[in-house]
């Protein structure tokens, strides 16, 4: 593992000329011990490398990553980014310049710049892969069957747990990913930019195209339902504090009902012709309806992500 302090990103750090054919994944991680191992194991075989950068971890994340590096060797590269990164949604983030070592923008660009292959994808530490979908996408890239002029975006289904241990889809936030995750050809223009709300990914001249549902999003199954890293006690006006309130009062749905609710109507189809973001949402919601053939959530997990029951805090009910 490499320790990094005081880094400031420059576009030349993308080192485009030295990149070789293949696919890099990168991940930023803070207190990801609940699911980071499951995420890595479910994805690593499909990529030429996985870069993980961790920051401000107070759980077992560093030990888990060290153990996985020892197991997987140079295919997995880990960095400890030591500067305090201001949480998204906070006033401190909004007031921190994007090139500061304390900015999520700079932190994200550091992780991206460590990748070494021409095609890149961002993962989070709570993404449990749907292997057949990831494999199809990766094979299409390796076989030259995708249009490299596009960022090929993908989404996931959020999973939460009721008090009785039942898994379901939160009604207020059923799917995640509206164009912020995708496979793209790296350039000096494909990097993160400052936004007072969050880090914004810039695609250069690439347009976006929806590729499919590639993962189950386990954020709401984390300790603290995935809101701990936003430091909400110190940031009560954060947009994520409002989202937590919505989550706390949300009902859970099974997968068939969720997909039916997402089914786009004529209005959504008309809006899709007006702007790329509406076209992405239309394609995403239509894909959800057709993907699962009316399977329940448990049936879909069994069929699409075998072994999910062995993932701590997912397959076993843990009272929180």
> What's the mean pLDDT in 112-122?
98
The answer to whether residue 317 sits within a structural domain is no
- How does pLDDT run across 241-291, given as a tens digit for each residue? 999 999 999 999 999 999 999 999 999 898 999 899 999 999 999 999 889
The answer to whether residue 315 sits within a structural domain is no
Nearest to 37 by CA among 19, 5, 59: 59
CB 125 within 8 A of CB 26: no
What's the pTM?
A: 0.96
The residue assigned the tokens 């039942």 is 166
The answer to whether residue 233 sits within a structural domain is yes
The answer to whether residue 22 sits within a structural domain is yes
The pLDDT-based confidence of 320 (bands split at 50, 70, 90) is very low
Nearest to 52 by CA among 32, 6, 152, 158: 32
Q: What does the alpha-carbon distance between residue 157 and residue 169 come to, in Å, rounded to a whole number? A: 7
Residue 317 corresponds to which tokens in the numbers above?
Answer: 């009910």
What pLDDT score was predicted for residue 1? 85
The answer to whether residue 29 sits within a structural domain is yes
The answer to whether residue 146 sits within a structural domain is yes
What pLDDT score was predicted for residue 181? 93
Residue 178 has pLDDT above 90, yes or no: no
Q: What does the alpha-carbon distance between residue 240 and residue 61 come to, in Å, rounded to a whole number? A: 23
Provide φ and ψ at 208, rounded to 5°. Answer: -110, 145
- 87-119 per-residue burial string, b: 16 or more CB within 10 A, e: under 16: bbbbebbeebebebbebbbbbbbbbbbbbbbbb
How far, in Å, are 42, 75, 130, 213, 314 from residue 282 at the CA level?
A: 28, 36, 21, 13, 30
What pLDDT score was predicted for residue 304? 96
> What's the mean pLDDT in 163-173?
95
The answer to whether residue 320 sits within a structural domain is no
For 106, the domain range is 2-310
CB 288 within 8 A of CB 175: yes
The pLDDT-based confidence of 179 (bands split at 50, 70, 90) is confident
Residue 318 has pLDDT above 60, yes or no: no
- How does pLDDT run across 34-62, given as a tens digit for each residue? 999 999 999 999 999 999 999 999 999 99
CATH code (residue 159): 3.90.550
Residue 180 has pLDDT above 90, yes or no: no
Query: Total domain count for the chain?
Result: 1
The pLDDT-based confidence of 317 (bands split at 50, 70, 90) is low
The answer to whether residue 319 sits within a structural domain is no
């Amino acid at each position: 593992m490499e320790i990094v302090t005081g880094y400031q990103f420059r576009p030349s750090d993308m080192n485009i000329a030295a990149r070789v054919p293949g696919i890099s994944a990168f991940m930023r991680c803070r207190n990801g011990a609940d699911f980071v191992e499951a995420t890595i194991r479910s994805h690593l075989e499909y990529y030429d490398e996985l870069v993980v950068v961790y920051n401000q971890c107070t759980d077992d994340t560093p030990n888990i990553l060290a153990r996985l590096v020892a197991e997987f060797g140079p295919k997995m590269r880990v960095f400890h980014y030591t500067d305090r990164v201001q949480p998204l949604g906070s006033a401190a983030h909004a007031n921190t310049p994007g090139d500061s070592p304390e900015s999520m923008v700079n932190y994200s660009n550091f992780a991206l710049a460590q990748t070494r292959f021409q095609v890149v994808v961002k993962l989070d530490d709570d993404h449990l892969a749907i292997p057949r979908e990831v494999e199809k996408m990766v094979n299409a890239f390796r076989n030259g069957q995708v249009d490299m002029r596009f960022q090929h975006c993908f989404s996931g289904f959020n999973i939460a747990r009721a008090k009785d241990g039942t898994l379901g889809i939160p009604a207020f936030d059923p799917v995640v990913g509206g164009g912020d995750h995708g496979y793209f050809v790296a350039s000096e223009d494909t990097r993160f930019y400052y936004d007072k709300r969050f880090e914004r990914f810039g695609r250069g001249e690439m347009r976006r195209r929806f590729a499919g549902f590639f993962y189950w999003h386990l954020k709401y199954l984390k300790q603290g339902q995935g809101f701990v890293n936003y430091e909400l006690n110190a940031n009560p006006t954060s947009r994520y504090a409002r989202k937590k309130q919505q989550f706390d009062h949300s009902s859970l749905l099974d997968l068939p009902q969720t997909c039916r609710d997402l089914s786009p109507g004529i209005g959504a189809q008309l809006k899709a012709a007006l702007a790329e973001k509406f076209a992405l949402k239309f394609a995403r919601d239509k894909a959800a309806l057709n993907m699962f053939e009316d399977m329940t959530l448990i049936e879909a997990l069994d069929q699409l992500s075998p072994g999910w029951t062995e993932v701590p805090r997912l397959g076993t009910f843990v009272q929180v």
